[in-house]
Structure 1
Amino acid sequence: MDRLSSFGNDPFDKPPCRGCSSYLTEPYIKCAECGPSPFLLCLQCFTRGFEYKKHQSDHKYEIMTSDFPVLEPGWTAQEEMALLEAVMDCGFGNWQDVAYQMRSKSKEECESHYMKNFINNPLFSSTLLSLRKTKDACFADGAIPFKPTDEPPRPTFDSVLSRDMAGYMPARADFMEEFDNYAEWDIKDIDFVDDDSDILRALKLAVVDIYHSRLKERQRRKKIIRDHGLINMRKFQVLERCYPKEVQELYDVMRRFARVTGPVEHDKFIESHALEFELRREIRKLQEYRKAGIKSFCSAKVYERVKRLREDERRKRTMLCDVLQYIQDGRACQQWLSKQAAIDAGITPAVTTITTSATGRRSAPPLNLTGLPGTEKLNEREKELCQVVRLVPGAYLEYKQALLNECRRQGGLRLAQARALIKIDVNKTRKIYDFLIKEGYITKA
């Protein structure tokens, strides 16, 4: 059983199943005798004894899976890859979203495992600059980090890759809508006849030449898309997210130069700018350390920690000014100040529901019923309900009549029936239902 060979591979990079052409999901089967290109089968085709050309059902095989621990027990290789992808998508430190994307681990487990094995572990404590040196060494050895898409992928219908490649026809290796899609309209009515004058014939030939130039431009754009692997945009976007934000902006600006450079040269061009950006950032950090009188990396760690504490204190001091400029209610401002004082004193603040809701938002002011149609039909208690619930009188009268009719028809009404009958916010429905029960308009079932 070969369990390590599938670790770290993108499922879109693996060839599809030779039997049913579906994308392979672990575990799957690899023939140990067919080669040199791998002969891969899904479990369904393997159990049916699929045979193709030289491959026979009695060949030796290997089970490809990543369901085994790598760094510590309880974390499989598949979960390790999912954790790294989640950190890359959500960002370092955003453990709540990382755990939500992982689904199999909690926020604390993701943070402790990542910090233990990928940050504080000396085996993985390599900087970005060392990774760049490794890539440069690979380039020197002749390794090419990007392979042009000579044969575009052919995903199965209604698969994830098929939806990502919408508008592309894999079987024909062509697009449903061409660049300059209506170029043929200019020549569809041109007809060369013998009695054409010299000027008219020259004009027709000029139109045909223009059409040929537009066809060349269409083919040139197709070649750029094929050579740079832009057909599978999902994979292309994943590669872009590997860079910092500033490099991503540079990537968008430099994309126009892809028309004059090959895919490998263009990637090296972007990598060199990313390395320059990283070097400049490291130099600025070292200059800051030198200006602060720091001469060792141990002191630099202490400096960074103290710097973060100073920034947190500065934000706390400016937080009150930022909040007060949006608060006009003196009572709400006093409650906020009391809550912050309790937090600073280490006391759990009491939850107030007078002016703030459970989510911490300010409650909406009562609705002004002046001039609204139907207000004269309400009594004082109904007006108070409409103001608190923020419901216009006309809508309240319609909801009230519908509940009364349903109560008379069934001899009583439950809250669930009222919610099914009135398609509004469930909290507003409960308040209307309780009010009508209290006032005696309707009765419970």
Structure 2
Amino acid sequence: MANTNTDLTEEDAADLQFPKGEQSSSEKTLATEILKNDVIIRFCSNCFKELISRYVLCEICKLNICLQCFSKGAEFGCHRNNHSYRLFTTNIILFENSDWTAEEELKLLDSLINYGNWGLVALELPNRTISDIKEHYNYFYLDRNSHKDMPKFEKEIDNRLPEVTVPYRFRLTDSDDPPRYASNTVGYQSLAGYNPARGDFEYEYDKNAEDLLSNIESISVDDPYYKILTDMQCSIVQSYNRRLKERHRWKKIIQDHGLLVLRKTSSWLHRYDLSITKPVYEKLIRFMRFYEPTKFEMLLEGLHRVGELKLQIHRLIQLRKKGMTTLAEGRLYLKLQQIHYENKKKLKLFRSDANFNWRATQVPSLPLRNKFVNKRRSTAIPLEIVGMPGYEKLTEDERELCANIRLVPVSYLELKEVLVAENNRMGHVKLQTARRMLKIDVNKTRKLYDFLVKQGYVGKPNS
């Protein structure tokens, strides 16, 4: 008898041994099959090798035989090599309206489980393109056109996230050589002394580098210290060359990253004011010297995308606290909130109209004047600050204040820090001092000052 498969346990090998006595055809068939995880695994009745694709079934003995044993004419037990047989193969079409064989279907499913990547799946199916594989999988498996018993997946349209913004698609537009402005124009002044015609600056980086060579003199060959002095001069020249390389490197950084027109570069960076915030990206631009332009943009765009995701998460958290559990409910809430603010604004204008104020009916000239004055002083819609940079650092009262006076959290924290520092230095802060230091709208300053006094962050002077 041939050697058994060493991967089988002793119990499995004993079950696969052929009985010495007479057995029915069904018992002989079961002797070469085992049930594992609800899957029938078949083995060759002679060499006990697992049958994966093609194999032979003896019509008389009802035994499974691998192609190797069949080609050798193996005889074992009651089986003889002149028995009639049938050939089982996976080279058959499983589904209607398909040209995929069962073997290809198995490779598709196995590779999807093992890799989860369409490119690697295509390597297992060299005769199929990636688009063909995707189309076949979607049609026969996801859309359940292969069999009615395929599992069904319900599509929840309302709970799907919006399409993700592809990052890294923005690039600098000022990396080319700038136009040649006239010397007496504002554009020329914005180039910070750069001369496009010559490709260099009026004041070079490390402008004193040439001083190293200014005092070098020729050395006579007859000088007893000729070799030492010559080596020293060569060292000075090498040092000068290193400084020239550094100067060239700085020029390349400025040109590659679009820093020649600094004003336009600064406006490009304002794109990240709400996601990365100005203090952070001002620190990040110091690392331009270590990055290629594209890679630096990828870094900023990645951080920008993180900031956008944090903004969405904060908004979802706020909606969840208000009882919303689906995106549809959240959209409806925001729409109704907008309508509420608009109606509230119209109601305030209506109440402030002098035509409906009984106290103003005595003065005929007031209604028209008050009508326009009240319209100018109408209250603005609260600012949506949820998820903005610095939002998580605010208390509930501070968030309400920032929304009502339309002040972003980062600006509020900076202004608060200024007044608290002044209060620690003087022991109190006057309203006039706050207006002089903050330099923002006087009404916002008054509300911010009163809030900080009420919360105990600053103190009023003793009158």
TM-score band w.r.t. shorter chain: 0.3 to 0.5
Normalising by structure 1, we get a TM-score of: 0.37
Normalising by structure 2, we get a TM-score of: 0.35
